[in-house]
Amino acid sequence: MLYGIAAATAALLLTALLAGALRTPALRLGLVDRRRRTRPVPLLGGAAVALATCLVAAAGNWTRLAPLGDGVDQVLIAGAAVAALGLAADVWRLKTRFLLLGTAVAAAFVVPYDETGVPGGMLAVAFVAAATLAFRSLDHADGIAGTVGVLTAFGAAACAAAEVMDGLAVLLSVLAAALTGFLMHGWPPARTGLGACGSLFTGFLLASAAVLTRSGYDLAGTAAVLGPLVALGAADVALVVLSRRLAGRPLLRGGPDHLGHRLRRLGLTGQGTTVILGVAAGGGVLVGVLVHAGWARPSAALWAAGGALLVVLALLRVPVYAPRRRPVETVARPARTPRQSVQPVRRPPISGVQPPRRPPSSQVRAPLRVRNG
């Protein structure tokens, strides 16, 4: 208990210091959010979260003050690999399919196949990969991904504590503290961003921890717990996919069509948008925790799903795309022909008629005329 509090405090302070210290190098290296046109926001805040979480958790496991246990250390190592993949995406702008493939490969090493079986393990890998990318989509405005990550981490830690998985609970508590330290710099208006490094790392740890916690349970009950935990990220992805399909836009083309963008269109401030989405995520997390603890029926997850569907349908009517401009029709002008030089027409002389001679000049004397004549 005392070590958990000390570890959380150390993670919070270390993340806050690293996020502030890495801001200037990120600006000098050009590692900024390219979606923002008004002011540059560095993207090494997520690296600070991943580094602080890994250092504090590894220190507790090495000193044996808070051993992570079997399977949890593999989750931490795989999460560090996913964070490195996200950092590469921040630097070189990797495509989404590479992020999905790398996350799925990392998830394949942490799923407990002896408890889930091969079919269940494949479903778990797909869930971890999809939930990780869905959490990354929440990093579209200041503070949203960090706030949702803190609340989800506390909920997943409560589920792990109910299963007496102390190492996993400590890891999630350290993650929540690190995200809180990041929010000291990432609360809107943010001075640093989470980026793909931090969002993929956080989403992977949360999804993998939820899968480890629910391993050995039936599929329906597991879906009733995992669904509310990731309800907000799933709603954001569904909203983006539907709006882009209806507008005829490519699915992988970015745009201001996420949850936070639409709430800002309705007149909310950045802080208000973060608070409202945090409350919505907290409601889903509370439902998942209650269902896992047995204090609510699995059918309670339908309320979370229905609420997410209503949010998607309501915000789908908010216009976010600029109207397309019609091309101006131009009238084709005829090609200019080169000007032809006009040659004077020479008339042939009339036969028998001599042309009149010019009169002699009065300035020429008679002897000269005779001489030259």
350 domain residue, yes or no: no
Q: In 3-state terms, what secondary structure has residue 32?
A: strand
Q: Kindly tell me the sign of the dihedral angle through the C-alpha atoms of 229, 231, 232, 234.
A: positive
Q: Kindly tell me the sign of the dihedral angle through the C-alpha atoms of 184, 185, 189, 194.
A: negative
In this prediction, residues 1-12 reach a mean pLDDT of: 86
The C-alpha atoms of residue 373 and residue 264 are separated, in whole angstroms, by 105
Instruction: Check if the beta carbon of residue 13 is closer than 8 Å to that of residue 182.
Output: no
Burial class (CB in 10 A: 0-12, 13-18, 19+), 314: exposed
311 domain residue, yes or no: yes
120 domain residue, yes or no: yes
Q: Kindly tell me the sign of the dihedral angle through the C-alpha atoms of 34, 234, 123, 246.
A: negative
Q: Domain span at residue 255? A: 2-315
DSSP 8-class letter at 311: H
The C-alpha atoms of residue 34 and residue 40 are separated, in whole angstroms, by 8
Task: Look over the chain and give the mean of its residue pLDDT values, rounded to a whole number.
Answer: 88
- Which DSSP string corresponds to 82-148? HHHHHHHHHHH---HHHHHHHHHHHHHTTS-HHHHHHHHHHHHHHHHHHHHHHHHHTTTSTTHHHHH
Q: Kindly tell me the sign of the dihedral angle through the C-alpha atoms of 287, 53, 71, 111.
A: positive
Quick check: 367 pLDDT over 50?
no
Instruction: Check if the beta carbon of residue 42 is closer than 8 Å to that of residue 27.
Output: yes
- Smallest CA-to-CA distance from 65 within 74, 75, 73, 57 is with 57
What is residue 5's predicted lDDT score, i.e. its pLDDT? 86
What is the residue type of 6? A
The Cα-based distances of 4 to 163, 175, 202, 248 in angstroms read 17, 12, 19, 50
The Cα-based distances of 116 to 19, 76, 251 in angstroms read 38, 20, 33
Quick check: 339 pLDDT over 80?
no
Instruction: Check if the beta carbon of residue 91 is closer than 8 Å to that of residue 25.
Output: no
pLDDT digits (tens, 9 = 90+) for 77-117: 999 999 999 999 999 989 999 999 999 999 999 999 999 99
The Cα-based distances of 37 to 22, 33, 196, 330 in angstroms read 21, 9, 18, 33
- Total tally of structural domains belonging to the chain: 1
368 domain residue, yes or no: no
Quick check: 34 pLDDT over 60?
yes
In this prediction, residues 127-132 reach a mean pLDDT of: 98
In this prediction, residues 194-208 reach a mean pLDDT of: 97
Query: Residue 283 — very low, low, confident or very high, per pLDDT cuts 50/70/90?
Result: very high
Question: pLDDT over 70 for what percent of the chain?
Answer: 85
The C-alpha atoms of residue 60 and residue 56 are separated, in whole angstroms, by 6
361 domain residue, yes or no: no
What is residue 84's predicted lDDT score, i.e. its pLDDT? 97
Quick check: 364 pLDDT over 60?
no
What is the residue type of 319? P
333 domain residue, yes or no: no
- Smallest CA-to-CA distance from 45 within 182, 246, 241 is with 182
Query: Which residues are within 8 A (CB) of 255 and not within 5 positions of it... i.e. 6 or more apart?
Result: 244, 249, 320, 321
Q: Which of 193-202, 287-296, 346-355 has the lowest mean pLDDT?
A: 346-355
Instruction: Check if the beta carbon of residue 123 is closer than 8 Å to that of residue 152.
Output: no
- Smallest CA-to-CA distance from 148 within 235, 35, 56 is with 235
What is residue 369's predicted lDDT score, i.e. its pLDDT? 42
**Interior CA angle at 41 toward 39 and 42, to 5°?**
145
Quick check: 208 pLDDT over 90?
yes
What is residue 368's predicted lDDT score, i.e. its pLDDT? 42
User: Can you point out the beta strands (E) in the chain?
Assistant: none
Instruction: Check if the beta carbon of residue 224 is closer than 8 Å to that of residue 124.
Output: no
In this structure, what token pair is assigned to residue 300?
């309670």
- CB-facing half-sphere around the CA of 250: CA atoms within 13 A: 3
340 domain residue, yes or no: no
In this prediction, residues 201-218 reach a mean pLDDT of: 96
341 domain residue, yes or no: no
Count, residues in the chain = 373
